[in-house]
């Protein structure tokens, strides 16, 4: 007897919708190797031949490696922010608060910081790697600085925003140099993980860039849905009869097959489409 897949999906959709409404977006998703994914246009699980083709391009690992290597280099790159940077930044940010602008530490911090990456990387031997390292440094420093300001006033957001941005800029050269030493080996490690995943549950790519694969993949997908970065958009009617789906939040959809985990939603046709937040 054929089962309508949507009857299995609806209870999960209700839970996922609740998660979308109750969790604000954040940069740096811990369950997804700490990668910044909130601005992704689309995310998908790739399996089989599409996965293998994606794994061959070393360029797809730059964002993942830079995010990982920023943490490795953080203990070495500990320069204090330049006072001239924090003073000018805080002055501008305070003016925005006085004018009624809603300053949000993480988002303003990253935007303030990442503007320096073009100049930082313009003469680099590998501009793409430099850009990835620079953006990961901005994101990591801003995440650390802004973590305690979720319920703070505009001025608190402003001060921490500037501290994160200026701290990242002060350590940018140190970070890019430090990350460069390990970047090639990092890319090879991620490619090995990606290749191995192609015959299993597949690998997660966002905007064509490798995010992760392996046993932690389900947790990453659940986190992306819970933070509102991804949403269930459409079901392809005929595919779920052969799929068994279980998420970390307890939603289960069943059929005759044995493909498990939220990853199966992608592989077999339930599309979770990334959407740009505004």
For the chain, which residues make up each domain, given as ranges? 5-47+200-274, 69-182
Over its C-alpha atoms, the chain yields an Rg (Å, rounded) of 20
Q: Please give the C-alpha separations between residue 263 and each of 10, 43, 228, 248, 268, in angstroms, as whole numbers.
A: 17, 11, 17, 11, 9
User: Tell me, what's the pLDDT at 242?
Assistant: 29
Q: Which of 12-16, 51-55, 161-165, 177-181 has the lowest mean pLDDT?
A: 12-16
Which residues 6+ apart lie within 8 Å of 154 measured at CB?
97, 101, 102, 103
Q: What is the pLDDT of residues 136-195, one digit of tens each?
A: 999 999 988 998 887 889 999 999 999 999 999 999 999 999 999 999 999 999 999 999
Helix H or strand E encompassing 271: strand 271-274
Q: Which residue has the higher pLDDT, 254 or 67?
A: 67
116 has a pLDDT exceeding 60: yes
User: For the purposes of burial, counting CB atoms within 10 Å of the CB of 122, is it exposed (0-12), middle (13-18) or buried (19 or more)?
Assistant: exposed
Q: For residue 68, what pLDDT band results from cuts at 50, 70 and 90?
A: very high
Among the listed residues 129, 145, 112, the one whose alpha carbon sits nearest the alpha carbon of residue 183? 129
Note every long-range contact of 209-215, with CB atoms under 8 Å and residues 24 or more positions apart, other chains counting. 209/60, 209/61, 209/62, 209/63, 209/64, 210/54, 210/55, 210/60, 210/61, 210/63, 210/64, 211/32, 211/33, 211/35, 211/37, 211/43, 211/64, 212/32, 212/33, 212/35, 212/64
Average pLDDT over residues 19-35: 63
User: For the purposes of burial, counting CB atoms within 10 Å of the CB of 14, is it exposed (0-12), middle (13-18) or buried (19 or more)?
Assistant: exposed
Give the percent of the chain with pLDDT over 70. 73
User: For the purposes of burial, counting CB atoms within 10 Å of the CB of 102, is it exposed (0-12), middle (13-18) or buried (19 or more)?
Assistant: exposed
């Amino acid at each position: 007897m054929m089962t309508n897949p949507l009857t299995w999906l609806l209870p999960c959709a209700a839970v996922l919708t609740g998660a979308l409404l109750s969790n604000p977006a954040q940069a740096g998703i811990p369950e997804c190797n700490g990668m910044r994914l909130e601005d992704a246009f689309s995310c998908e699980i790739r399996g089989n031949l599409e996965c293998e083709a994606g794994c061959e391009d070393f360029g797809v690992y730059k964002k993942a490696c830079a995010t990982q290597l920023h943490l490795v280099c953080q203990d070495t790159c500990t320069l204090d922010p330049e006072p001239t940077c924090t003073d000018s930044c805080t002055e501008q940010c305070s003016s925005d608060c006085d004018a009624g602008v809603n300053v949000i530490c993480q988002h303003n911090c990253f935007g303030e910081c990442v503007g320096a990456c073009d100049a930082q990387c313009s003469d680099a031997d590998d501009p793409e790697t430099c850009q990835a390292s620079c953006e990961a440094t901005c994101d990591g420093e801003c995440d650390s600085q802004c973590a305690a300001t979720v319920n703070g006033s505009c001025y608190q957001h402003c001060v921490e925003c500037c501290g994160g941005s200026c701290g990242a800029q002060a350590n940018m050269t140190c970070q890019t140099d430090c990350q460069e030493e390990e970047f090639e080996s990092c890319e090879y490690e991620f490619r090995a993980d990606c290749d191995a995943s192609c015959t299993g549950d597949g690998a997660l790519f966002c905007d064509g860039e490798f995010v992760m694969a392996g046993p932690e993949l389900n947790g990453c997908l659940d986190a992306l849905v819970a933070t509102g970065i991804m949403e269930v958009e459409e079901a392809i009617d005929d595919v779920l009869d052969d799929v068994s789906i279980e998420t970390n939040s307890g939603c289960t959809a069943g059929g005759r097959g044995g493909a498990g985990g939220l990853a199966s939603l992608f592989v077999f046709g339930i599309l979770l489409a990334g959407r740009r937040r505004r």
